[in-house]
A and B are shown apart, each in its own frame.
Chain A
Amino acid sequence: MKNSNANKALFNRDPILKVTGLNKVFGRSKGFFGKSTSLVQAVTDVDFEVYPGETLAIVGESGCGKSTTARLILRLIEPDSGNIIVDGMDISKNDALELKHLRKSVQMVFQDSYASLNPRLTIGQAVMFGPRTLGLSIVKAREIARETLSNVGLDPTRFEGLFPHQISGGQRQRGNIARSLAFRPKIVVMDEPLSALDKSIEAQVVNLLCDLRDQYNLTYVFISHDLNVVQYIADRVLVMYLGKVVEIGDVGSLFSNPRHPYTRALMASVPSRDPKIRTQSAPIMGDLPSPINPPSGCRFRTRCPYAEDICGAEVPLLTPQKSAGGNQVACHMEKIGSGHSKGGILDE
């Protein structure tokens, strides 16, 4: 299913989506008497690239900034700093032409299939809204809507005139996918599109997403906390922890050889399909620290079994590891001479 040679070839091409130095702090507003209120560092210095035709999965536990990153890419939230380059055009500036480029190129599928469809519009109307916004005629828009609906497996003659509350959750999520695809986007950002679906429907939708990716030459940014699905659908995986990227890499090498202690803990938390191999111990201790005052240095150090003084003193940078198949890891243990007693030990 996964062709790693094809993936390597992709790396030589220009990225279709390039995010550099993305930052977002919530609650920046000053208090009534000029006191600064508590700031939530939702996303801090996030850099990544997505290449045409690939699927980048963003994983991490709740509250790590996955959804915020998605919303920042789509400019639903204004970033505090950082550049977002879509298909060679920087869309992080407030320019009408660039925004139009963004709207045409990047679409989003939301988690809650019910809340993301207007209850007063039929499925057909909801799907038509996109092409209509792009300035197409009603006839043309309806044609696109019908074609897209049948491509996501919803028979237009049956579903076009139905309202969201009249169809099932799986059908609604297909409707949402159709709504985003009706723009004929290049990139689709999916914010946990499967988590509200039951397992049998989930499998159908995952297969549908794979088919549509080939059919429409799509690039996915796939946000999920279900690592089994990620392993199936993704080409590369980005692991986030408390607003920072801790590891990026090929899905194969990341799953077989996770480098960052957090990634390893995350992988260990996936329940095994074999009942004989049971999860040995709680892989990760404690709760996610508050993003209002994140730990200094490495943000994972409060829960990391290998944490040392250096981890609190210095922020580990995301550096490519030769031995990890080009994976980038932000951990002091990865670097020889970083000051960590195990520095470079993993590289041997």
Chain B
Amino acid sequence: MNESAVSPNLDAGHIGTSKNSRFRETLYRLAKDWVFIVASVVMGAILGSAILAPLVATHDPLSISILSRLQPIGSEGHILGTDELGRDMYSRLIYGARLSLAMALLPVFFAFGIGTGLGVAAGYFGGTINSIIMRSIDVFFAFPSVLLAIAISGALGSSTTNVILSLVIVFVPPISRVAESRTTEVVGLEYIDAARISGASDFTIIRVHLFSNIVGPVFVYASSMISVSIILASGLSFLGLGVKPPTPEWGVMLNTLRNAIYVQPWVAALPGCFIFVSSLCFNLISDSIRTAMDIKP
């Protein structure tokens, strides 16, 4: 054991600097979970090709070729066929992954930040602050999430930013609820009392003692929303509220290929398959992480 690993460090980055045995245990359990490994490999492949799209793609996703419209899967030069305007499906799916995944991940990312903040504030301060925050959040639960997302992005106008914004609004309430209930649970524990007795400021108590103990469960819950987010984001685009054609995006592609379903059903189903597979993978990954973290040491 070297000195730096043993020495506790309570400066700005105090939590991460020490060996966190629970984190290691979680990683160890995940490494033995084959569902997690398969899902991560598939997701990694989709994410990787999305990031490296210009290198991986074989065609320009926007180049139209009227002569080779609706080619079947496996046709020459177009491994996954072509769409109704003769654009290469493989390249469009890869480029589409960029936007689709960004529109799925960003709302969850922002909602995780905002929801955790609101939930921690409500749970830690309690009383009137809790009532104001949590009752305001309850209002959003009156509407089904799909309806709420459609209503917000419909009202704001169709654009990528508005889709993300509307999804953030949809995801903040459930994440805050989880963060609030977890915070309430931790605030009742004696080490928070001990920290209060120490005279530390509320901010320090939240930063050092509370946050590290609630972030895990809230993160796992938020990650389970990614799969919903993919479907909602694609759904909004499908309805014409998000990305506009010809930009490649899975929801838009599904919409434009809708008429081709009798001609080339397999090609038309491809964007849906990608939505399904990535949503499933995110779900499995989040499930595996939860199982690995739930086990008490």
Contacts and interface: CB of A to CB of B under 8 A. Distances in A.
B209 A76 contact: no
Given A110-B193, A118-B213, A163 B11 contact: no
A115 interface: yes
Interface string B16-40: 0011111000000000000000000
A107 interface: yes
B190 A112 contact: yes
Interface string B245-282: 00000000000000000000000000000000000000
A120 interface: yes
Interface in B1-58: 1, 5-11, 14-15, 18-22
A115 B189 contact: yes
Contact of B18 (A107, A125, A142): A125
Interface of B is mostly: helix
B125 interface: no
Contacts of A132: 10
A124 interface: yes
B136 interface: no
Tier of interface size on chain A = 35 or more
A71 B21 CA distance: 33
A346 interface: no
B65 interface: no
B194 A179 contact: yes
A129 B5 contact: no
B204 A120 contact: no
Given A76-B197, A125-B14, A161-B19, A115 B8 contact: no
A129 B196 contact: no
Contact of B204 (A112, A118, A133, A176): A133
Interface residues of B, number: 32
A319 B20 CA distance: 56
B191 A138 contact: no
Contacts of A99: 199
A133 B8 contact: no
A72 interface: no
Given A118-B191, A161-B5, A74 B197 contact: yes
B199 A104 contact: yes
B194 A122 contact: no
B208 interface: yes
Interface in A93-125: 99-100, 102-104, 106-108, 110-112, 115-122, 124-125
A245 B190 CA distance: 26
A258 B258 CA distance: 91
Given A120-B212, A125-B18, A161 B11 contact: no
B195 interface: yes
20 contacts: A102-B199, A107-B197, A111-B190, A115-B189, A116-B189, A116-B191, A118-B209, A118-B212, A119-B213, A122-B8, A122-B18, A125-B14, A128-B10, A130-B198, A133-B198, A142-B8, A160-B7, A161-B1, A166-B21, A183-B198
Given A120-B213, A138-B9, A166-B21, 8 more contacts: A110-B193, A110-B194, A115-B190, A119-B213, A129-B10, A133-B200, A133-B204, A161-B7
